[in-house]
Amino acid sequence: MSDRKLKVLAISGSVRSDSVNTALLETLKNVSSDNFIVEIYEHLAELPIFNQDLEGENIPDFVAELGRSVSEADAVLISTPEYNGAIPGGLKNLLDWGSRPWGKGAFSGKPVAVIGASPSEYGASRAVAMTYTILEAMSATVINRKLTVGNAPDRVAVGGEIIDEMVAKSLSDVLEGLEIAVENLTPVSQ
């Protein structure tokens, strides 16, 4: 890739203060090379429930900011918990807003990776698969480098400290996959 740094928007599907999914994204800053700028999205809780009546000129400020953040990023990395065998409502709401206007949403064509962490041994695997399916329906360019972290409180430290080298290596692999996806979508200069 060029000397330009890849801007990755990292989105946690959890709003909990001690979220292992947010901690997993904070770890990105410690495992990413100098090729990346990682920005963590922090307004999931402020997004209003999706409502088509609020589109267009009525679009809420936090929704417009979400669209700008996704559009300005080279790639997106989503980390989702699993609630009752599915993705959390707040993350689904963010994805609904990000898919609008239909066919021209901010995620359309955007390279995206999906990871997840959970206290269970399954590591949010159903939520990761579900998020992957939703993103494909939104026409995102979803890379096939998923990561699920089971027993996450023992493997991921709040604040981004690396406590499990296997998780750190897997995160690096996901970032590499995003870098390749961005490179493949970037036109070659003549």
State yes or no: pLDDT of 77 exceeds 80: yes
Pick the CATH number of 6-185 from 3.40.50.10490, 3.30.230.10, 3.30.30.60, 3.40.50.360: 3.40.50.360
pLDDT of residue 186: 67
List Cα–Cα distances, 13 to 64, 68, 83, 165, in angstroms: 19, 18, 10, 23
Place of tokens 């929704």: 63
Q: Are 115 and 77 in contact (CB under 8 A)?
A: yes
| Mean pLDDT of all residues in 151-174 | 89
45 alpha carbon, distance to own chain's centre: 15
Residue 190 is predicted with a pLDDT of 40
Q: pLDDT digits over 80-131, tens only?
A: 999 999 999 999 999 999 999 887 899 999 999 999 999 888 889 999 999 9
- Residues 14, 34, 172: CA angle, nearest 5 degrees: 50
Provide the pLDDT confidence category of residue 6 given band limits of 50, 70 and 90.
Answer: very high
DSSP-assigned beta bridge partners for residue 36: 6
Let me know: does 149 contact 80? Beta carbons within 8 Å: no
Predicted local confidence at residue 2, as pLDDT: 56
pLDDT of 37-63, one tens digit each? Answer: 999 999 999 999 999 999 888 899 999
Closest CA to 92 of 80, 84, 104, 102: 80
Task: Give the pLDDT score at 122.
Answer: 85
Single pTM value for the model: 0.93
Where are the domains positioned within the chain? Answer: 6-185
For residue 187, is pLDDT > 70? no
